[in-house]
A and B are shown apart, each in its own frame.
Chain A
Amino acid sequence: MRSLHGLYRGIGFLSTLLVFGAVAGPASALNVRRIDGRTEIKRSGRTEWRPVDDSTSLREGDSLRTGPKGKAELRMSEGHRLSVREKTTVTVVSGGKGLQYQFRVISGRVRAFVRKLAAKSRFEIRTPLAVAAVRGTEFEMEVLDRGTSRLSVIEGVVSFKDLDGLFNEVSVVKGQCVTIEPNQAPKPPEPVPQDILKEKPAEAAVSPPGPPKEEIEREAGLDGDRNFRQEQGANNLKEGVYQEGKALIDAYGKRVRLEEYVLRPTATQFAFVAVSRRDHRTDATRLDIFAQNPLPDVVDVKGLFYQEGNSNMLNWAVATQRIATNGGDWVKEWRSDGTPVFYTVTSPAGAHEFSQVVFAHWFVEAKAEGQEPVLLSHWIPTSAFQLGNYEATKIRDENDLASDGAQDLPWGYKDFVGVGAGGVVGDDRLIDGFSAAQRTQYFTNATINTKYNISEGFVRTARLFLDGAPAPFTPEQFQAARETVVTLNYVNPLAATNPDLTQTSFRLTDDGRRLNQFDIAQGNLKNDINFQSVFNSNLFQGRKIDLVTSPLTFRPPDERRQDQ
């Protein structure tokens, strides 16, 4: 599961846990930025000096010193800045607690840029002899020999007095420079020395003339958070597509897209539509189920083909039609005249009673793009099946495979024989006289139905291949094989064009692994996601129909019943 709101952003996450100086919060209340030269810090109560880096923060009692050509800047979260010039030592007396900032300049020179202070807040620079207090201004304080302190006010007003309080406080205004020497009253104001005035303002002196990088970085961070939030919506949509199985990857690492829909063309009709796209091709299939009576909104599909118990089926499928196409060629299977047949199967465990719909006709035909359709097969269940001898006629795939390696499909129709006296599979009755227009009326045209009823299908065989080798197999080979392909061949030995159709079917797991026959026999079909059917025919001139569908939707209804 992907959290909608990850606590850690996925992009640029390398340092998301390393929050020093990077998060909005108190961690950056008094940060040091080294500008140039050597700059060191001495923690409160410690004696050793250590180099600082951009992420160093100061607390009360800490001291900072710069060497020759050294330059650093203290940045306060309220926007105040203290530029520390070369060969200067500063101690933090109060580092912002209660919005009080107090620095002691032991030696050297600092320039302060102080934003307008809020009520109860205070900003002071102390020297060994004097103290300067401000309420929003820019000034420079220099400590000379014997603690002599010189204050130069660049902007605003600064209160200035000796530290011992022996003399009156003076207010120094913009452009004035006042010096306090040991044991003397503040000297009369003088103009700020030109060398100080010529220097860039404190903020500019230590920052590029453009917007400060902190501001850029902060805005970039806010933008990143907003974008992350916005794009989670897109990621959620993608997640939803995966959860619904509409985007898959096949055994060859290629993208497969699958969409399945339901249609309700009429009150008694229910249709599945599946469209798959892979290898830049689109294939589609549609299964229509025609019910005896009107269908409710929520359709129990299996209930249209099978019902447990001995009660009569109230609604059932009278016909089905499945068509598969690549957009040009298609293969169509349809069944008609379905009626429920009641069965009782007796075993040592007791009697099993159920009803199953039996279709009187099963047709298969293929059509190449631009050509007329060709009927390949027409099967009719034996009278034994129709009369209810269920166990006598059905096929158990696993048993049949063991004997001849062939798998007769569909399940439940084994011994198809021709209608009429002496009819056998593949007998010599011709199928003719069907136009394309007539083929569209299979379910309504009584004449055509009658015509089909007296015609016969051709040879339909199913063969099983394990890892490319045909049956028969040993049980060990059967279980060990990882690739199982079942082919259905329809061959008309009588037609001049000798049309054929091969359907290759295999199942894929969600990670593209092909399930083997053992998996299928064990019932693991329930967990595969792809049911892939590839149709090849000499009618298609090298083209194929390659369908990928979900495991349940387009399996024959009786297989659906098994798994459901």
Chain B
Amino acid sequence: MIRRPLRRHFPRAALGILLFPGLAFGFSLTDRPAGESAFHWTPYFSAELYGGQSTFSGDSQSPVSGPNGSLLFVPGFRLGPRLTILPSFSANYRQTRDVQELIGGGFLTQKQSDQSAAVKALWALTDRWKFKGYGSFKQELVQESTDEKWGQGLFDYQKTAAGLELERSGMTMRSFRAGVDLYWVAFPNFDSLSADAQQFGGEVNAGTHVLDYRSLDGTLSTDVLLSPRTAVSATLAASDRRFGDQNLVQVDGTYAGTLRHDLFLFSSAALRRQGPSREFRWATVDSVAGLDLSAAWLNSNQNNYDTSRTVFNNDYYDYVEWTAGPRVSLRFNQKLSVGLGAAWSRRRYGRRPVQDADGTYLSGNVTTTAWTYRVSLGYPLMEHLDAVLTGAYQDASSNMKYESVYRYNYSSASYFGGLSLKI
């Protein structure tokens, strides 16, 4: 069976993603004083190129090394006194993954690239109020196995998004943003096998494009200056995700005609405090300390049926997750920057039963915990160009002991070194 080439998904509604920038440009023509030049632009460019190595405990392919890189180009246009247009183009390539990406599958041999294009318009309503709109398209290509070619990766996906945001700037509350986003996620190479099987499976009715979904997000964010040296950023977001072709599995293992529907809530807060500059004989040291907190909650109407053991698991995907972590950044003589960070993360599934090493279901639900430690070093080599070295270690543990298909208990580490350019 020949795998289909990557399909391009452009939802019809996404054709309107350029509407706001277009309208804004039209208004700008009338808003501009006579004789003023059409527009001015500022190019912004950033690039990272680095190499590194990752290890994953117990994985036969570990360690894995390779180059990673990223590019971002934003030619910013000012179309009059109130309107700014920010087209952006970005590309990333990764051959070595960070510890947080070494998910329990543990497959380290992976090449990943993504390309995205977006256009964003910023309309200054007043000195304090700003209206923003954007449209974007992103394509991520993944090679996870030796027989996957670019564009044929099982987990290649495309995201088409559009959104609006209203921002208020101030003195103490430096920024308050309220936004709404609508986006479509499509996995063009991931179809249900049952739908594709020629002799069996067609009667299963699980759906075909089972991973594709549309999400409507609402987000509130703020950055508040608590004192001249202390600030806090907070975000509250809700996602309504509807799957267009993933049917619900029922208690007897068969599929109903009802579609999957997820609700996801997320909140986070980041506290930053700048310490006093300390003069030592050997260096002047500046410091910033921070604390990051977040909580997430997923509620899905989808269930799970373990065909191997003929066990039905209701609300299998529901979970609550918390993260917390301090960080501190130091800079010596305005040159050498050192970052240290730790993060604790715990996810508790509401109704996913624990299994022992043999797969036997036990009482209690799955809980996973991860500790992540990071260190980064940065040093400016010349104007716009920094050398960066970073390392990370993660230790994940869980009461889930059935790890035949997915690792819940492992440790992983990664380190990278490279250059960071910002112009």
Q: Which residues of A contact B (CB under 8 A)?
A: 1-8, 10-20, 23-27, 29, 41, 43, 45-46, 50, 52-57, 59, 77-78, 95-99, 115-116, 118, 121, 207-213, 215-217, 219-220, 222-223, 225-227, 229-231, 233-234, 236-245, 247-249, 252-255, 257-264, 272-277, 279-282, 284-286, 297-301, 323, 325, 327, 330, 509-513, 526-529, 550-553, 563-564
> What's the dominant secondary structure at chain B's contact region?
strand
B339 within 8 A of partner (CB): yes
B 137-173 to A, binary, CB cutoff 8 A, 1 in contact else 0: 0100000111110000011010101010000000100
Q: Is the CB of B78 within 8 A of A24?
A: no
B376 within 8 A of partner (CB): yes
Q: Is the CB of B308 within 8 A of A5?
A: no
Which residues of chain B come closer than 8 Å to A210, judged between CB atoms? 39-42, 76-78
Q: Is the CB of A286 within 8 A of B200?
A: yes
**Which segment, of B10-18, B22-30, B284-292, faces chain A?**
B284-292
Q: Is the CB of A17 within 8 A of B266?
A: no
Closest B residue, CB atoms, query A564: B309
19 additional contacts (CB under 8 A) given A207-B42, A223-B88, A247-B105: A4-B266, A17-B339, A17-B375, A26-B230, A56-B334, A97-B228, A209-B40, A209-B42, A220-B72, A223-B134, A227-B116, A230-B181, A255-B144, A261-B204, A261-B253, A261-B307, A277-B196, A327-B199, A526-B357
B368 within 8 A of partner (CB): yes
Of the candidates A2, A212, A243, A253, the one whose C-beta lies within 8 Å of that of B100 is A2
Output the residue of B60, B233, B337, B422 with the most chain A CB within 10 A: B337
Output the residue of A17, A77, A234 with the most chain B CB within 10 A: A17
B103 within 8 A of partner (CB): yes
Q: Is the CB of B200 within 8 A of A273?
A: yes
Which residues of chain A come closer than 8 Å to B40, judged between CB atoms? 208-210
Q: Is the CB of A209 within 8 A of B78?
A: yes
Closest A residue, CB atoms, query B190: A241
CA distance A257 to B155 in the complex (A): 12
B131 within 8 A of partner (CB): no
Q: Is the CB of B84 within 8 A of A211?
A: yes
Q: Is the CB of A238 within 8 A of B155?
A: yes
Q: Is the CB of A96 within 8 A of B192?
A: no
Which residues of chain A come closer than 8 Å to B256, judged between CB atoms? none
Of the candidates A5, A15, A327, the one whose C-beta lies within 8 Å of that of B323 is A5
Q: Is the CB of B86 within 8 A of A219?
A: yes
Q: Is the CB of B44 within 8 A of A220?
A: yes
B 279-321 to A, binary, CB cutoff 8 A, 1 in contact else 0: 1000010101010101010100000110111111000010001
B 1-38 to A, binary, CB cutoff 8 A, 1 in contact else 0: 11100000000000000000000000000000000000
Output the residue of B103, B305, B340 with the most chain A CB within 10 A: B103
Q: Is the CB of B390 within 8 A of A248?
A: no
CA distance A228 to B93 in the complex (A): 16
CA distance A231 to B160 in the complex (A): 11
B363 within 8 A of partner (CB): no
Least CB distance, B234 to chain A, in whole angstroms: 11
CA distance A4 to B2 in the complex (A): 34
State which residues 324-341 of B face A: CB under 8 Å. Answer: 325, 327, 329, 331, 333-335, 337-341
CA distance A219 to B219 in the complex (A): 16
Closest A residue, CB atoms, query B275: A27
Q: Is the CB of A24 within 8 A of B233?
A: yes
Which residues of chain B come closer than 8 Å to A551, judged between CB atoms? 308, 404
The 3 closest A-B pairs by CB, nearest first: A17-B339, A262-B253, A245-B405
Q: Is the CB of A10 within 8 A of B272?
A: no
| Given A29-B228, A526-B358, A553-B307: A23 in contact with B288 (beta carbons within 8 A) | yes
Which residues of chain B come closer than 8 Å to A121, judged between CB atoms? 171
CA distance A273 to B335 in the complex (A): 63
Which residues of chain A come closer than 8 Å to B54, judged between CB atoms? none
21 example contacts (A-B, Cβ-Cβ < 8 A) are as follows A5-B268, A5-B321, A8-B98, A12-B92, A14-B48, A15-B388, A20-B329, A23-B288, A26-B230, A210-B42, A226-B179, A229-B217, A229-B266, A233-B185, A239-B104, A245-B406, A249-B107, A258-B193, A262-B252, A263-B203, A275-B201
Q: Is the CB of B329 within 8 A of A19?
A: yes
CA distance A43 to B285 in the complex (A): 12
Which residues of chain A come closer than 8 Å to B185, judged between CB atoms? 233-234
Of the candidates B59, B145, B161, B233, the one whose C-beta lies within 8 Å of that of A255 is B145
CA distance A244 to B316 in the complex (A): 11
| Given A8-B374, A29-B228: A301 in contact with B181 (beta carbons within 8 A) | no
Closest A residue, CB atoms, query B179: A226
Of the candidates B92, B290, B317, B339, the one whose C-beta lies within 8 Å of that of A11 is B92
Q: Is the CB of B171 within 8 A of A8?
A: no
CA distance A365 to B327 in the complex (A): 67
B125 within 8 A of partner (CB): no
Closest A residue, CB atoms, query B335: A53
Q: Is the CB of B193 within 8 A of A327?
A: no
B231 within 8 A of partner (CB): yes
Of the candidates A3, A249, A284, the one whose C-beta lies within 8 Å of that of B199 is A284
